[in-house]
Amino acid sequence: MAGFPVYLLFLAALIILPMANLIRSARHRRRAGIRWPPPGPWALPVIGHLHHLAGKLPHHHKLRDLAVRHGPLMLLRFGELPVVVASSAGAAREITKTHDLAFATRPVTRTARLTLPEGGEGIIFAPYGDGWRQLRKICTLELLSARRVLSFRAVREQEARRLLLAVASPSPEGTTATASVVNLSRMISSCVADSSVRAIIGSGRFKDRETFLRLMERGIKLFSGPSLLDLFPSSRLAMLVSRVPGRMRRQRKEMMEFMETIIEEHQAAREASMELEEEDLDLFIGGSETASTALQWAMSELLNNPKVMQKAQDEVRRVLYGQERITEET
């Protein structure tokens, strides 16, 4: 032993101790019924896996490349925020169908928690439970029943006709000269916003549509955009440095005041009063943003796949040939 190098003892200890710790941890997990988390790429201290998304957009292409190497279900850590990424139909089915109750509650970030009033989560951020089920039941029976949806058919057909006329017009809305390029995303957003307001409030045209769309787009960017406070919720420094909470409070105040003005104008003619609740704001934004986003993505995919676009155009021309008026049946 006298000639045995001391550094080899330290090297053996460095190898054996971590292995023993891993074995003990694995046994504890098996006894407690705890499974190993999904795999993921290598991480850095503090920032976690954020460096894997550095560079040019779009980020979902980089997530796809990571999924090719690490599997369809990955666990990433953005700062202190754990994120599970499902990159296959099977993994998505497990989350949205097989284990949907485990993922039913939308996570409320630190920024959103500072912005939302106490008990004002609405139907979007309300935790899964009796309260959320009651709100969902009311929306389903009062707004989304077959009879109610059918009653809004004329509104949908009128707004769809206006959208088609605006796209086909040589001078699209907001331009003065003949143009061959149209801002289809803006037109779709305007169409959906008009349809939602007419269905919820009953007004004819949405006079302040542009203000509503501007506030909605800004709010969605703030809620869905990266925030230092959301990545490091336990950091007091992030709380002091981040400007997002103040911006979100101002955004919510402006949106609530704007929607209250619209409702007051509508209620003035009926000599009635109604207080704007968080659920009402959820219906306005949810009914406008989700539908327009789905339509924009559908059109984007068609434009990126010319063969599919040509097939869809041929089918539409064949079905609607010779018809002067387009209805939902056609």
pLDDT tens across 20-58, in order?
666 666 666 566 555 677 888 988 888 899 888 887 777
Whether residues 96 and 131 share a domain: the answer is no
Is 27 inside any structural domain? no
* CA geometry: angle 249, 254, 258, nearest 5 deg: 150
In a domain, 187, yes or no: yes
Q: Domain check: are 67 and 99 in the same one? A: yes
CATH of the domain at 147: 1.10.630.10
- DSSP letters, 80-131, are TEEEEEE-SHHHHHIIIIITGGGG-SPP--HHHHHHSPTT--HHHHPPTTHH
Judgement on whether residues 237 and 298 belong to the same structural domain of the protein: yes
3-state SS assignment for residue 78: strand
- Other CB atoms within 10 Å distance of the CB of residue 251: 20
Is-contact 82 233, C-beta < 8 A?
A: no
Q: Within a domain: residue 112?
A: no
Q: 202 and 285 in one domain?
A: yes
pLDDT score, position 86: 92
For residue 275, the SS3 value is: coil
Average pLDDT over residues 63-69: 90
Q: What average pLDDT does the segment 103-116 reach?
A: 79
Residue 170 has what pLDDT? 59
The reply to whether 84 and 205 lie within a common domain is no
Q: What pLDDT was estimated at residue 85?
A: 92
Lowest mean pLDDT among 163-167, 184-188, 266-270, 310-314: 266-270
Distance between CA atoms of residues 81 and 324, nearest Å? 55
Same domain flag for 240 and 298: yes
Given a contact cutoff of 8 angstroms between Cβ atoms, the answer to whether 83 and 96 are in contact is: no
pLDDT in tens, 143-161: 778 888 888 888 888 888 8
Query: Please, where are the H alpha helices in the chain?
Result: 6-32, 59-70, 89-93, 110-115, 122-125, 130-142, 146-151, 153-168, 184-200, 209-224, 228-231, 236-241, 244-268, 278-304, 306-320
Judging by DSSP bridges, how do beta strands 81-86 and 73-78 pair with one another?
antiparallel
- The predicted structure's pLDDT at residue 74: 93
- Give helix 278-304 / helix 184-200 axis angle, nearest 10°: 150
Q: How many residues does the chain have?
A: 330
- Amino acid 307: pLDDT: 93
In this model, does residue 247 exceed pLDDT 80?
Answer: yes
Q: Is residue 1 part of a domain?
A: no
- Does 85 map to a domain? yes
Within-domain flag for 24: no
Judged by DSSP in three states, 48 sits in: strand
Tell me the residue type at 87: S
Q: What is the pLDDT of residue 311?
A: 93
Determine the pLDDT at residue 257: 84
Q: Is 234 helix (H, G, I), strand (E, B) or coil?
A: coil
Contact 186, 210 (CB under 8 A): no
Task: Give pLDDT, residue 287.
Answer: 67
Examine the domain organization and report whether 64 and 131 are in the same domain.
no
Residue of higher predicted confidence among 15 and 293: 293
Percent of the chain predicted with pLDDT > 70: 74
Cα–Cα distance between 328 and 155 in angstroms, integer? 11
Q: Are residues 57 and 200 in the same domain?
A: no
Parent domain of 127: 122-320
Model confidence at 73, in pLDDT bands (50, 70, 90)?
A: very high
* Residues 88 and 176 placed together within one structural domain of the fold: no
Q: Do 128 and 90 share a structural domain?
A: no
Q: Is residue 189 domain-shared with residue 276, that is, in the same domain?
A: yes
- 129/166 same-domain check: yes
Q: Specify the pLDDT at position 100.
A: 85
- CA separation for the pair 265, 272 (Å, rounded): 11
Q: DSSP class of residue 169?
A: S
Residue 148 lies in a domain: yes
Q: Where does a domain end: 57, 76, 103?
A: 103
Which pLDDT value is given to residue 102? 84
Work out the angle between the directed axes of helices 278-304 and 209-224 (0-180°, nearest 10). 80
Averaged pLDDT, 114-120: 66
Confidence of residue 314 (pLDDT cuts 50, 70, 90): very high
Q: Which tens digit of pLDDT belongs to each residue from 158-212?
A: 888 888 888 887 555 555 445 567 888 888 888 887 887 777 766 555 667 778 7
Higher pLDDT, 141 or 17: 141
d(CA 182, CA 186): 9
2 is a domain residue: no
Over pLDDT 90: what percentage of the chain?
A: 7
What total number of domains does the chain contain?
2
Per-chain mean pLDDT for the chain: 78
